[in-house]
Amino acid sequence: MKIHKHEVIIVGAGGAGLMAALYASRGGADVAVVSKLYPTRSHTGTAQGGIGAALGNLDEDQPIYHAYDTVKGGDYLADQNAALVLAEGAVEAVIELEHMGLPFDRTPDGRISQRRFGGHTREFGKELVRRACHAADRTGHMILQTLYQNCIKRNVNFFDEFQVVDTIINDGVCVGVVAIQIGTGEFHIFHGKAVMFASGGWGRCWSVSSNAHSMTGDGAAAVLRRGVPLQDMEFFQFHPTGIYKMGILITEGVRGEGGVLINNKGERFMEKYAPSAKDLASRDVVSRAIYDEVKKGNGIKGKDYVYLDVRPETVNRFFAEEGRKERIDAAYVEKKLPDILDFCRTYLGVDPVKEPMPIQPTAHYAMGGIPTNVDAQVVIDENWTVLPGMYAAGETACVSCHGANRLGTNSLVDLIVFGRRGGMHMADYVKGVDWTPLPADAGHEIESEFKRIRSSRGKMKPYQLRAKMQEVMMENVGVYRTEKTMTEAINVLRELRHEFRTNIAIDDQGYKFNTDLMEAWELGNLLELAEVTALSARNRTESRGGHSRDDYPKRDDENWLVHTLVCRAGTDDDPQYTINTAKKVDMSLAETDERFRPKVRAY
């Protein structure tokens, strides 16, 4: 096995990984970024609406308001210290992105332009505030491009199309990862002093998903298998507006620009569910409202979707009703939402300027993940014990600034703020520690696991198992859940795991670009994470944020202001999971400020 030695190894080249790479490199470390996709293909590039920061360019704004919205949006499960770091760090980080060349849209006086987004308010919920900094509806694309460009400028080492398949922990220290070079099928070891997982989410566990095919949670699954816990896995966000059946995301920015949700009676139904914020209430609230409308028979044509309407005449009518002065026209919509119009015209044959868009909630974002502190160091228990050398940032991490439900625009902030902090921390850390050697058998275990998968000659094709998993997760561990549906899901997932371990067929026996094999391995990760999600969800006997149970419809602050930590022991064939709920939510802001204490969440 070829061994590469770099002080800092970063797994993933999305926003989080690239930001960390830049800062670790600026801090003087020798950095290698290992990514299964070419960096510019990373999912960060699909983020549309914006990145939140209290710049106050258009409305009076302060980081503490942003922190408040984040905590409230997270249904009080966010660690408040992390939410504050996020909100305060956002301002500096966004300005820095501009300095790195990011072409934000501009205000008439040449500053970074900002728009409204769900749940973002001024003065602790008083009114919606323009906080989302944007570059048309391709903000994530511009962030990804800008960071990659800056990494090229700094000559950061890239290992593109190398897929990390295992992590190496020696004597309680993380010393590297094992990766397969996709083009050759060869195994490589990356030996480092610090390893960061920035490998993104696992939205492909569900059948209707906004996530790319590559979002298979490889990093989270790989560390879980090595005994690192995963935190708050029950909290997975369903974005209210995915294109019907396809799941392709329609940004909240559409509603930020005045778009409204309409049921089959032509009602703007969010007025009933969230009288104040209406269509821009938190995502969990809006997704549930859509499900409730559908349940009442108010779906369009009696089906399981509703309309998102951004036709100027509709928007202007509601602006007038609300006494708002602004008016929009077709050219404005074209300018502000070009990609959205393109998606709808391409995939639906619907022109949103003339017709409403059919939408339904779509699996979107993992609030949970690899637990870290605010410096992106991985922490493995309720006492915040650090696993030396291991870091995580971005969607795969759980710091937890998003709590039970992430606010729109806050993921991009998370990538930038915690990617940056992690990068800086790693640069310092590697200066102060010696190299821990690799274990003698590094990489052997995963190599034989791949041999095993490759030689599978069973009857099931991986896609069949994947489709079953995605359906059962959508039906049973989706927007609404109960004990019964989750137990059912867990049983099905166990069967699927058994099939996966004993009865799959791999067609491709080659080594070069064997995507058949890699997809099968990725399915194993999805199955693992799906099961952990269902187990964590069943264990939490309350409803909070993105986790809504029909059998426990209320939030229970007495018992559940705690994080879930799941650990895995046992073998891949017969894993044993333990769930620990001893980790308390950080309430440091609430200690001095009444407004941060949990209360009923109304929008």
Ligand X SMILES: Cc1cc2nc3c(=O)[nH]c(=O)nc-3n(C[C@H](O)[C@H](O)[C@H](O)COP(=O)(O)OP(=O)(O)OC[C@H]3O[C@@H](n4cnc5c(N)ncnc54)[C@H](O)[C@@H]3O)c2cc1C
Residue 227 to residue 571: CA distance in whole angstroms: 11
Q: What is the rounded CA–CA span in Å between residue 559 and residue 247?
A: 35
Q: How many residues bind another protein (CB under 8 A)?
A: 66
Residue 383 class from Cβ within 10 Å (0-12 exposed, 13-18 middle, 19+ buried)?
A: exposed
Query: Three-state DSSP class for 107?
Result: coil
Strands 114-122, 127-133: pairing is antiparallel
DSSP one-letter string for 62-105: -HHHHHHHHHHHTTT-S-HHHHHHHHHHHHHHHHHHHHTT----
Q: Report in angstroms the alpha-carbon separations of 554 from 540, 542, 557, 601.
A: 12, 6, 9, 12
Query: Which parts of 31-90 interact with ligand X (CB under 6 A)?
Result: 34-37, 39, 42-44, 46-51
The answer to whether residues 273 and 289 touch, using CB atoms and an 8 Å cutoff, is yes
Q: Report how far residue 7's alpha carbon sits from residue 24's, in angstroms, rounded to the nearest whole number.
A: 10
Residues 121-150 that bind ligand X (CB under 6 A): 139-140
Q: Please report whether residue 415 would count as binding ligand X according to CB under 6 A.
A: yes
Q: Does 149 bind another protein (CB under 8 A)?
A: yes
CA–CA distance, 471 with 501 (Å, rounded to integer)? 20
For the segment 447-506, give every residue that binds another protein (CB under 8 A).
Answer: 461-463, 505-506
Interface with ligand X in residues 155-194 (CB under 6 A): 163-164
Q: Pick out residues in 200-229 that bind ligand X (CB under 6 A).
A: 200, 210-211, 218-219
CA–CA gap between residue 116 and residue 121 (Å, rounded) = 9
CB of 570 to another protein, least distance (A): 30
Site membership for ligand X, residue 15 (CB under 6 A) = yes
The smaller minimum CB distance to another protein, of residues 508 and 557, is found at 508
Binding mask 296-335 for another protein (x = CB under 8 A): ---------------------------------x-xx-xx
- Joined tokens for residue 64: 């503490």
- Find the binder of ligand X among 8, 13, 228, 379 (CB under 6 A): 13
Residue linked to tokens 């096995």: 1
Question: Are 544 and 404 spatial neighbours (Cβ–Cβ below 8 Å)?
Answer: yes
Q: Does 150 bind another protein (CB under 8 A)?
A: yes
With 0-12 / 13-18 / 19 or more C-beta atoms within 10 angstroms meaning exposed / middle / buried, residue 594 is exposed
* 595 given a catalytic annotation: no
Residues 34-73 that bind another protein (CB under 8 A): 37-38, 40-43, 45-46
The residue from 167, 411, 536, 543 that contacts ligand X (CB under 6 A) is 411
Q: From the CB of 462, what's the least distance to another protein, in Å?
A: 8
At position 474, the amino acid (one-letter code) is M
Query: What residue ranges bind another protein (CB under 8 A)?
Result: 37-38, 40-43, 45-46, 95, 98-101, 103-112, 135-136, 138, 141-142, 145-146, 149-150, 152-153, 183, 212-214, 248, 329, 331-332, 334-336, 339, 342-343, 346-349, 461-463, 505-508, 510-516
> Which residues are marked as active site?
283
Which residues make up the interface to ligand X (CB under 6 A)?
11-17, 34-37, 39, 42-44, 46-51, 139-140, 163-164, 198-200, 210-211, 218-219, 249, 251, 365, 394-396, 408-412, 415
